[in-house]
């Protein structure tokens, strides 16, 4: 059977989702749990790679396995063997040819900013602190200029394989900024992302919120296709993969 599983994880102690030779990955920890439960180590297909330190609220992955454990009980069995900073939330059976990455229609990321000079003693590992007051309305105005089909090379860090192949056009369908007291949430939904794209986008919105960048300057930044014209790359710890949407409903 082909199982689609939803994961949530704190990425602080991991080098990202994808297995890498230079550190502990979320994928390796998950496969360890699979091996403990199933007695084998199936190949897993993740919906995204996620960089070191990035978190997930609704990461999707699939794998093929033979087991008598009902899909509804599989998360409970896996959680007994997963570290406490990774949790399986839900599992279901999907068609054999379903692939968590290639079937994805859009992915939504959340970037969290604590807009205060004082850190929270409870949540400092899950946001980026910006001490100077940000104008969330200006950030929202700037955010709307990112919506649509654009060449996002200006929001791409060096070292991107997509950029090397000239594949830098993506479509953002929603980009919103919301203030909640001292916290600012930036949510972005797109059909795909470039390397560090959301973190650079969030940094650019902060420049607008701080008054150093006019919201209407965003189209010119995108048209320039030049990374140095966009804002800074904000820290990985404020970024969460929030959800993944698929073209067809999953039973």
pLDDT at 44: 96
pLDDT at 247: 80
pLDDT at 202: 98
Clarify whether 97 is annotated catalytic. Answer: no
pTM: 0.94
Cross-strand pairs, 188: 109, 175
Q: What is the mean pLDDT of each run of 10 residues along the chain (251 residues)?
A: 97 92 92 95 92 96 95 97 98 95 96 96 95 97 98 88 78 98 97 96 98 97 96 97 85 60
**CATH code of the domain occupying 2-102:** 3.30.70.580
- The first and second tokens of residue 207, run together, are 């420049």
Angle (nearest 5°) at CA 231 between 106 and 185: 50
pLDDT at 164: 63
Integer Cα distance of 33 and 27 in angstroms = 10
Integer Cα distance of 63 and 23 in angstroms = 23
Are 2-102 and 105-243 equal in CATH topology? yes
Integer Cα distance of 5 and 205 in angstroms = 33
109 is in an annotated binding site: yes
pLDDT at 110: 98
Q: Is 20 exposed, middle or buried (0-12, 13-18, 19+ CB in 10 A)?
A: middle
* CATH of the structural domain 105-243, one choice from 3.40.50.970, 3.30.70.660, 3.40.930.10, 3.40.30.10: 3.30.70.660
From the candidates 10, 32, 43, 51, give the one annotated as an active-site residue: 51
């Amino acid at each position: 059977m082909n199982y689609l599983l939803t994961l949530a994880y704190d990425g602080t102690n991991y080098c990202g989702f994808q297995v890498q030779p230079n550190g502990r990955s979320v994928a390796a920890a998950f496969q360890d749990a699979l091996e403990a439960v199933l007695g084998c180590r199936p190949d897993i297909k993740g919906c995204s790679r996620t960089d070191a330190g990035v978190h997930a609220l609704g990461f999707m992955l699939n794998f093929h396995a033979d087991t008598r454990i009902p899909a509804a009980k599989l998360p409970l069995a896996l959680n007994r063997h997963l570290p406490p900073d990774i949790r399986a939330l839900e599992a279901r059976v999907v068609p054999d040819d379903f692939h968590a990455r290639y079937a994805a229609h859009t992915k939504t990321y959340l970037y969290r900013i604590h807009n205060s000079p004082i850190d929270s003693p409870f949540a400092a590992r899950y946001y980026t602190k910006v001490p100077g007051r940000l104008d969330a309305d200006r950030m929202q105005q700037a955010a709307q200029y990112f919506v649509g089909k654009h060449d996002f090379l200006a929001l791409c860090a060096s070292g991107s394989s997509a950029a090397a192949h000239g594949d830098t056009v993506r479509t953002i369908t929603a980009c919103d900024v919301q203030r909640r007291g001292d916290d600012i949430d930036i949510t972005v939904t797109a059909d795909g992302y470039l390397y560090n794209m959301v973190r650079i986008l969030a940094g650019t919105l902060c420049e607008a919120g701080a008054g150093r960048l006019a919201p209407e300057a965003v189209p010119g930044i995108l048209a320039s296709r030049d990374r140095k014209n966009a804002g800074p790359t904000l820290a990985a710890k404020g970024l969460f993969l929030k959800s993944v949407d698929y073209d067809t409903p999953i039973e």
